[in-house]
Amino acid sequence: MQLIAVLRKEVLIQWRTRAGAAAVLVFGATTLLLFSFAVGPSAESLEKNAAGFLWLALLLSSTLALSESFQSEWEQRGLEGLLLLPVSAHAIFFAKAIANWLMLFLLGVFLLPVMVVLYNATPSRPIEMTGIILLGSAGLSAPGTLYAAMAAASRARQSLLPLLLFPLVVPVLLASVKATSLLMHGDPMGQLRSWTILLLAFDAIYWSLCGLLFRRVVDE
């Protein structure tokens, strides 16, 4: 019940600040467009690197979304109020992480057709592609939520969050890019299952460890 109540609060806050979410969507689409300019007019190169560009755009956009998840609580001391209530720190973390997960998943789903239009790279199995976006965004959400809480009290949170987050999520990013590339260009060796299992394993590790460490972060 605590988790549901806090999650409801988070979803309502995100809905009321949907102008910020729209800005994140525009930023992600613009990033994909800039990548296409950087590669040039080579259609083959664009299609070959489409999976990497998609996840880089999602990763860069995620820092904007995640950095805002604790900003209002720190500015208005709302997090301290939540901790004073009979609500566990685990419920607060998982509610925020799930809300961020939903936002990043929707961002990935939005960027997918943008990538198809810009790079002419169409996934052969859209349902599996949606699942990879779901798993990859989960791997970004849990550590991103934890580090957003750590960076929220800093004046340099916009630059501190990427410095903390990017090195940690390299395995998730690598597995997501590889799985996405296999869905786009074929999987003759049957590697998709292995990369998906690896992605699931890192998701489980991140969500477990970050949930345990969140109490220590907010208490300091």
Confidence of residue 94 (pLDDT cuts 50, 70, 90): confident
Q: What is the mean pLDDT of residues 187-206?
A: 90
The total number of structural domains that make up the chain: 1
Q: What is the mean pLDDT of residues 162-181?
A: 91
DSSP secondary structure code for residue 17 in this structure = T
The predicted structure's pLDDT at residue 87: 67
Query: What are the CB-based long-range contacts (under 8 Å, 24+) for 113-117?
Result: 114/28, 114/29, 114/32, 115/32, 115/50, 115/53, 115/54
Is the pLDDT reported for residue 92 higher than 90?
Answer: no
Domain hosting residue 126, numbered range: 2-219
Q: What is the mean pLDDT of residues 161-180?
A: 91
Taking the alpha carbons of 67, 94, 173, 25 in that order, is the dihedral positive or negative?
negative
Q: 31-88: per-residue pLDDT in tens?
A: 999 988 888 777 788 888 888 999 999 999 888 888 777 766 666 555 555 555 566 7
Q: What is the mean pLDDT of residues 90-94?
A: 82
DSSP secondary structure code for residue 41 in this structure = S
Confidence of residue 135 (pLDDT cuts 50, 70, 90): very high
3-state percent breakdown (helix, strand, coil) of the chain, nearest 5: 85, 0, 15
- The whole-angstrom separation of Cα 48 and Cα 69 is 34
The predicted structure's pLDDT at residue 185: 84
User: For all residues of the chain together, what is the average pLDDT?
Assistant: 83
Q: What is the mean pLDDT of residues 165-188?
A: 90
More confident residue, 62 or 8: 62
Residue of 113, 118, 132 whose CA lies nearest to 49: 118
More confident residue, 55 or 122: 55
Q: What is the mean pLDDT of residues 183-210?
A: 90
Which tokens sit at 45? 């190169």
- The whole-angstrom separation of Cα 98 and Cα 165 is 17
More confident residue, 72 or 29: 29
Is the pLDDT reported for residue 220 higher than 70?
Answer: no
More confident residue, 219 or 12: 12
Q: CA torsion, points 108, 184, 128, 55, in degrees to nearest 10?
A: -30
Taking the alpha carbons of 189, 192, 197, 202 in that order, is the dihedral positive or negative?
positive
Instruction: Give pTM, 2 decimals.
Output: 0.87
Q: What is the mean pLDDT of residues 145-159?
A: 75
